[in-house]
């Protein structure tokens, strides 16, 4: 089945692993018969900062409310062309792959700013003027797949369950859950490569091979089982119902089944002593 | 005791709560006799994107390695003036306060890019050419205090222990632990204001009052008890020793004492059934 994929990547150096992964994705997916759209953020000189210049036709010239102006620009076709174009690409895509080096335990600023600018009110949030009702599993990007491909400088054990940096899944939860699942996408487990600056030529070839294999099965994978806001687990739209994972708190409570060996039960007072 | 504080803030709108908090901080801290430095990122038109323009005198013109070029520029006084100036401010400060609206569950791109550019190799990481040895409690900013002041659009219960967004402390762990504790700062518990777009005039006054009170005691507060890499809990510099919090995994395992009601024990196989 012919599908459309969008690659969003954030690394300017042609010889970087990020760009090698992007090139391999273009090649592999095209060879599979898919259509591949690309957003090469550095080459596009993507404007990273959300500011007043994003709203040339202001609803309120006296006071800059990002929510109000974003909603106004989106609803009135008054967005900047770069933002509108990225929204068109997202809507055209069946799956979106984000490739980036992990910098300071998160996505690079240029990619963070892509979310901030492209996710207009009415599009990325506030969908259908329903406030917070159509989010986390519902939204403008519902049914599309999303995948993070993170190139990590540090070693894998530093990101393990007891690694000093914290587990990568927890560090990236604000992106997987907060940026991708939020507007409705089905998020696949993050594809991480560790120790990227120490890889031998052979190890790089192995990593690229594993990446191509993963891409081949992208539409057959099981997404991270994040709980849908409107699936019954959050009756008030804000908090987990008492009977849902009653002993758990925090990030892992929002997964319907443990996809990791480290789900997190809440500590009872007795256990905390 | 007269001290120097640096305020770094990321909101362009004069009437925003972020800027009201920044103005209140300048006033309160100055009245206390402290010196206040400011980095008003939007007013400075801070360059958010780390790219080749950051390295006008390249070690290797053929290939852009951010680590290598950053280390080269830092060691040779070849950094851009804006980056060098922020490093000087950081070194002069006894405490650093970051004020920002929470956007997509993280710091705004302009602030993320501040860390990426200002934290040069040799300064923010790779301190004293010791690789990863002097980090998490040791580093160029050791002994300074750091505080995040986050202006949050959503309501507090959405960020509670079982709130749908995930707990704010977990969402900001990549910043508190990964960006602030990493180069040695003592990080204070995040100051959060929720539902910022729905506050009445009276509630705003109350929030500003609470903020001024908090500032008055900034140097007496107990920091988040993050475990120091070189304090004995990570004998190999990568993972927690087996006898340290033996039943815990993930973010909360890196706090020496529960500062939250929701520390996270690892799930035993029995408990997971």
Domains and their CATH numbers in chain A: 4-224 (3.40.50.360), 236-273 (no CATH)
What pLDDT is attached to residue A196?
97
* CA atoms of A48 and B48, how far apart (whole Å): 7
**From A158, A171, A179, residue closest to B174, measured CB to CB:** A171
Sequence-ordered alpha helix ranges (H) in chain A: 17-31, 66-75, 81-92, 109-118, 168-171, 173-175, 201-216, 269-272
Q: Is residue A209 scored above 60 in pLDDT?
A: yes
- pLDDT tens digits for A122-143? 999 999 988 899 999 999 999 9
pLDDT of residue B257: 74
Question: Which residue of chain A has the CA closest to B252?
Answer: A166
Q: What is the ipTM of this complex?
A: 0.94
- How far apart (Å, rounded) are the C-alpha atoms in residues B261 and A99? 36
- Please, how many CA atoms are within 13 Å of residue B94, restricted to the half-sphere of its CB? 11
Q: How far B34 CA sits from the closest chain A CA (Å)? A: 30
| B159: closest CA of chain A, how far (Å) | 9
pTM, entire model: 0.95
Over chain B (273 residues), what is each successive 10-residue block's mean pLDDT?
97 97 98 98 98 97 97 97 98 98 98 98 95 96 98 97 98 98 98 97 98 97 97 97 95 79 43 33
Predicted confidence band of residue A257 (pLDDT cuts 50, 70, 90): confident
Q: How far is B178 from chain A (nearest CA, A)?
A: 6
Q: Testing the interface with A: which of B52, B249, B252 to mutate, by most A Cβ within 10 A? A: B249
DSSP B186: E
Give CA–CA dist A95/A36, Å, rounded.
Answer: 10
> In the numeric block, which tokens belong to residue B177?
């632990």
Q: What is d(CA A192, CA A222) in angstroms, rounded to the nearest whole number?
A: 17
Mean pLDDT of A72-80: 97
Q: Cβ–Cβ contacts within 10 Å for residue B269, how many?
A: 7
- What would the two tokens of residue B161 be? 């222990």
pLDDT(A273) > 70: no
H/E run at residue B4: strand B4-9
Helix (H) or strand (E) holding B71: helix B66-75
In this structure, the number of other CB atoms found within 10 A of the CB of residue B192 comes to 17
> What percent of chain A has a predicted confidence (pLDDT) above 90?
92
Cross-chain Cβ contact B155/A238 below 8 Å: yes
Give which of B118, B88, B204, B101 is closest to B154, Cα–Cα: B101
Q: Give the DSSP H or E segment for B6.
A: strand B4-9
Torsion, Cα of B46, B48, B51, B52 (10° steps): -10
Contact list in B for residue A173 (CB cut-off 8 A) is 166, 170-171
pLDDT of A61 reads: 96
Output the pLDDT for position B240: 97
Q: How far apart are CA B224 and CA A40, in angstroms?
A: 39
User: Tell me, what's the pLDDT at B268?
Assistant: 37
Count Cβ–Cβ pairs < 8 Å, chain A vs chain B: 217
In this structure, chain A runs to a length of 273
Q: What length is written for chain B? A: 273
What is the SS3 assignment for B89? helix
At A172-202, the pLDDT tens digits run: 999 999 999 999 999 999 999 999 999 999 9
B260 versus A64: the higher-pLDDT residue is A64
Other residues' Cβ atoms within 10 Å of the Cβ of residue B139? 24
User: From CA B125, how far away is CA B71, in angstroms rounded?
Assistant: 9
The C-alpha atoms of residue B112 and residue A104 are separated, in whole angstroms, by 9
Q: Which residue of chain B comes nearest to A179, CA vs CA?
A: B104
- How far off is chain A from B33, nearest CA to CA, in Å? 33
Contact B162 A12 (CB under 8 A): no
Q: What percent of chain A has pLDDT over 70?
A: 94
Does the CA dihedral A246-A247-A253-A258 come out positive or negative?
Answer: negative
């Amino acid at each position: 089945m012919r599908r459309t994929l969008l690659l969003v990547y954030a690394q300017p150096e042609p010889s970087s692993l990020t760009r090698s992964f992007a090139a391999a994705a273009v090649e592999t997916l095209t060879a599979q018969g898919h259509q591949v759209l690309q957003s090469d953020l550095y080459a596009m000189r993507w404007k990273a900062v959300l500011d007043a210049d994003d709203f040339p036709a202001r609803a309120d010239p006296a006071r800059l409310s990002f929510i109000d102006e974003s909603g106004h620009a989106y609803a009135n076709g008054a967005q900047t062309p770069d933002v509108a174009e990225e929204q068109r690409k997202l809507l055209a895509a069946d799956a979106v792959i984000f490739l980036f080096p992990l910098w300071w335990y998160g996505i690079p600023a240029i990619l963070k700013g892509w979310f901030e600018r492209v996710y207009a009110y009415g599009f990325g949030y506030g969908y259908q003027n329903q406030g917070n009702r159509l989010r986390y599993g519902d939204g403008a990007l519902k049914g599309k797949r999303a995948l993070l491909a993170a190139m990590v400088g540090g070693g894998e054990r530093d990101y393990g369950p007891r690694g000093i940096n914290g587990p990568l899944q927890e560090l990236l939860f604000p992106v997987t859950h907060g940026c991708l699942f939020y507007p409705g996408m089905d998020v696949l487990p993050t594809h991480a490569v560790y120790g990227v600056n120490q890889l031998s030529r052979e190890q790089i070839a192995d990593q690229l091979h594993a990446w191509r294999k993963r891409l081949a099965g992208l539409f057959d994978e099981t997404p991270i089982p994040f709980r849908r806001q409107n699936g019954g687990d959050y009756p008030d739209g804000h908090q987990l119902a008492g009977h849902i994972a009653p002993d758990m708190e925090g990030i892992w409570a929002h997964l319907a089944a443990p996809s990791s060996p480290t789900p997190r039960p809440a500590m009872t007072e007795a256990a905390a002593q």
